[in-house]
Amino acid sequence: MKNLNVTGGRAALARTALRLGVIVALAVFANLGLNFVLAQLDGSTTAGMQIALTSVVIVSLIFYALLVAIPFVPGLEIGLSLMMMKGVSIAPFVFLATLGGLTLAYLVGRYLPDRLLYNLFADLRLKSACRLIDRLRPLDQQSRLDMLQARLPKYVSASLLRYRYVTIAILLNIPGNALIGGGGGIALISGLSRTFSTRGILLTFAIAVSPVPLAVYFFGLDIFSLFN
């Protein structure tokens, strides 16, 4: 039993290291790409080149939004890494792309049948997302919401749990939410629960993900030094 625990611990450590490596690699490549695009934009004088490079930026942000929407993909962490590297200039775009990704995940969960959603994740080889759908299938709408609330830290006041929108906002901002799929997984389950109004949940997403981009935009990267 002890050997199994050691092996399991090593495997978990390896998965964590791999996850961090993926975050760093994606953030670095995204940063290099954005540096190249911004440099070309600064040095370009033709309208055609400006349009082409602006299109590249838009496509890159769409790609980032798709990463955010996928459960168990560290999209939000990549956005944070991008802001730490690029600072003020990228913060508004990271906010919009993050909001777009969460919105997409919610709408997919809200309007796509469970079976179709499972097949989509299976085709993309997203095994963790498939397991999430398997866990949700036998649950009714309220039980799906209860599963989210059960992940809240114990220090969160029980009175807040009566407000499901507050639950989602807190979950999006607590460490360790990757255990239930990260931002994309939380948004997906919100849609699958079918207990939220679309307007209300989108406003919740906007409020929940705005503090860090707004802080970076108005105060710069020095804001992170307060947490060191």
For the record, the structure tokens of 216 come out as: 């970076």
Query: What is the rounded distance in angstroms from the CA atom of residue 216 to the CA atom of residue 151?
Result: 28
Residue 21: Cβ-neighbour burial (10 angstroms; 0-12, 13-18, 19+) = exposed
Q: Are 185 and 191 in contact (CB under 8 A)?
A: no
Could you tell me which residues come within 8 angstroms of residue 121 by beta carbon, excluding any fewer than 6 positions away? 71, 129, 130, 133
Strands (DSSP E) found in 2-44: none
Instruction: Give the distance from CA 90 to its chain's centroid.
Output: 17
For the record, the structure tokens of 111 come out as: 């309007």
Q: Report CA-CA distances (Å) from 170 to 117, 183, 213.
A: 26, 11, 17
Query: What is the rounded distance in angstroms from the CA atom of residue 176 to the CA atom of residue 153?
Result: 10
Could you tell me which residues come within 8 angstroms of residue 81 by beta carbon, excluding any fewer than 6 positions away? 23, 24, 27, 31
In a domain, residue 140? The reply is yes
DSSP class of 112: S
Query: What is the rounded distance in angstroms from the CA atom of residue 126 to the CA atom of residue 133?
Result: 11
Print the domain residue range for 25. 2-223
Query: What is the rounded distance in angstroms from the CA atom of residue 130 to the CA atom of residue 201?
Result: 24
Q: Helix 75-86 and helix 211-219: axis angle, to 10°?
A: 0
In a domain, residue 36? The reply is yes
Tell me the pLDDT of the chain (228 aa) as tens digits. 445 444 555 665 665 566 556 656 666 666 666 666 666 656 665 666 667 666 766 777 788 888 888 887 777 777 777 777 777 878 888 899 999 999 999 999 899 888 888 888 888 777 878 888 888 888 887 787 777 777 666 665 555 556 788 888 888 888 767 666 788 888 988 888 888 899 999 999 999 999 888 888 888 767 666 555
Q: Helix 47-69 and helix 91-111: axis angle, to 10°?
A: 50
In a domain, residue 84? The reply is yes
SS3 46: coil
* CA 213, 218, 220, 224 torsion-angle sign: negative
Say what the pLDDT of residue 44 is: 60
Say what the pLDDT of residue 2 is: 47
Task: Specify the number of domains making up the chain.
Answer: 1
In a domain, residue 167? The reply is yes
Q: Report CA-CA distances (Å) from 124 to 77, 121, 129.
A: 21, 5, 10
In a domain, residue 157? The reply is yes
Say what the pLDDT of residue 6 is: 47
In a domain, residue 228? The reply is no
